[in-house]
Amino acid sequence: MPIVEVRGLYKRYGDRTAVDGVSFDVREGEIFGILGSNGAGKTTTAECVSGLRRPDEGTVRVAGLDPIADRVALTELLGAQLQQSELQPKMTVREALELYASFYPHPVDGIALAERLGLGHALGTRFAKLSGGQQQRLFIALALIGAPRVVVLDELTTGLDPRGRRETWELIEEIRASGVTVLLVTHFMEEAQRLCDRVAIFDSGRIEALGTPTELIDRTSTAVVVSFRPSASLDPEALSALPGVLAVRRDHDRLVVEGNDESVEAVLALLAREGISPRRLRITEATLDDAFLDITASEKLT
């Protein structure tokens, strides 16, 4: 049973179509990523799920509730991350937790939550004095304080340093492990590949691809790149003719072969037959980043 269902969602701002007929389901207990470049319609979609924007067309259901018509009931089961401007700079962590707990009928213990999120020692610290990472943790805490079944996290790690980002990823994994469904809006492919069970790639208000990160990576034309410095001269044409090879190029004294698993085996077999050793051999697999560029670029060509 999906916990979030979006069907035929349209949202326009004046004559600009921000969301252009989007449909997807989020399964209970998964981390579902909404990915896309700036202006792709990610935030607008997340806001429609959270009940912060009214769709122009289409339906949104969260655990069977209409986020606009059933707004009060929705707040009991959906937690959304706040934007920075929504917290008073002078409010302490403890005050923020108490204030937000008062909005919900069955809040969790705010102090225990703060401790779980590594904010136990910062309860008396004012919001403005928290580090970027601590502020993000507080936003996660406030999204979780009402004991939601679903949390919507939008660009949570933007502006964090690599350590802060990794710590936040671990927190999100813990949230999922506790049974909460996470809708994660991001434009960081590494983040999505690491965290998300499934992702929807948005481009110009539409979903161009949806699947697990592995499925999307497998769909990219170049799944694997092999590069090496041949110990003796080798005709690139011989490489181009091998099964699965999509492209061969020279990069200084290296040969770079783009292809798939089949082409890796074929390249290595050819080198063995010719008695050529592949010096400084590197085999790199495509990432979600490659898949994203491939998917959004091919859409632009059609």
Ligand X SMILES: Nc1ncnc2c1ncn2[C@@H]1O[C@H](COP(=O)(O)OP(=O)(O)OP(=O)(O)O)[C@@H](O)[C@H]1O
The span of 41-49, 100-108, 246-254, 293-301 binding ligand X (CB under 6 A) equals 41-49
Binding ligand X (rule: CB under 6 A), the pick from 30, 44, 146, 228 is 44
Q: Compute how many other C-beta atoms are within 10 angstroms of the C-beta atom of residue 281.
A: 14
Q: Is 18 in the site for ligand X (CB under 6 A)?
A: yes
Look at strands 2-13 and 16-27 and give their pairing.
Answer: antiparallel
Residue 197 has φ and ψ, to the nearest 5°, of -75, -45
Binding ligand X (rule: CB under 6 A), the pick from 40, 201, 216, 264 is 40
CA separation for the pair 205, 223 (Å, rounded): 27
State which residue, 91 or 293, has the beta carbon closest to ligand X. 293
Q: At what angle do helices 93-101 and 132-144 cross, to 10 degrees?
A: 20
The span of 35-43, 109-117, 136-144, 283-291 binding ligand X (CB under 6 A) equals 35-43
State which residue, 18 or 226, has the beta carbon closest to ligand X. 18
CA separation for the pair 117, 302 (Å, rounded): 46
Tokens describing residue 51: 């009940």
State which residue, 13 or 103, has the beta carbon closest to ligand X. 13
State which residue, 30 or 47, has the beta carbon closest to ligand X. 47
Q: Is 26 in the site for ligand X (CB under 6 A)?
A: no
83 CB-side CA count, 13 A:
4
The span of 1-9, 33-41, 269-277, 278-286 binding ligand X (CB under 6 A) equals 33-41
Binding ligand X (rule: CB under 6 A), the pick from 39, 107, 132, 236 is 39
Residue 253 has φ and ψ, to the nearest 5°, of -95, 10
Least separation in angstroms between CB 155 and ligand X? 7
For tokens 């080198």, name the residue.
271
Q: Which amino acid is at 15?
A: D
Q: At what angle do helices 162-177 and 132-144 cross, to 10 degrees?
A: 10
CB 136 within 8 A of CB 156: yes
State which residue, 35 or 96, has the beta carbon closest to ligand X. 35
Q: Which amino acid is at 148?
A: P
The span of 34-42, 63-71, 245-253, 266-274 binding ligand X (CB under 6 A) equals 34-42
Q: Is 43 in the site for ligand X (CB under 6 A)?
A: yes
Q: Is 6 in the site for ligand X (CB under 6 A)?
A: no
Residues from 150 through 209 that contact ligand X (CB under 6 A): 187
State which residue, 80 or 248, has the beta carbon closest to ligand X. 80
Q: How many residues bind ligand X (CB under 6 A)?
A: 12
Q: Is 38 in the site for ligand X (CB under 6 A)?
A: yes
CA separation for the pair 208, 23 (Å, rounded): 11
In sequence order, what are the residues at sequence separation of 6 or more whose Cβ sits closer than 8 angstroms to the Cβ of residue 138?
A: 87, 93, 96, 117, 119, 127, 130
Binding ligand X (rule: CB under 6 A), the pick from 3, 30, 41, 226 is 41
Q: Is 16 in the site for ligand X (CB under 6 A)?
A: yes
Least separation in angstroms between CB 36 and ligand X? 5
State which residue, 22 or 96, has the beta carbon closest to ligand X. 22
State which residue, 36 or 133, has the beta carbon closest to ligand X. 36
For tokens 């769909």, name the residue.
219
CA separation for the pair 34, 45 (Å, rounded): 9
The binding site for ligand X (CB under 6 A) comprises 13, 16, 18, 36, 38-44, 187
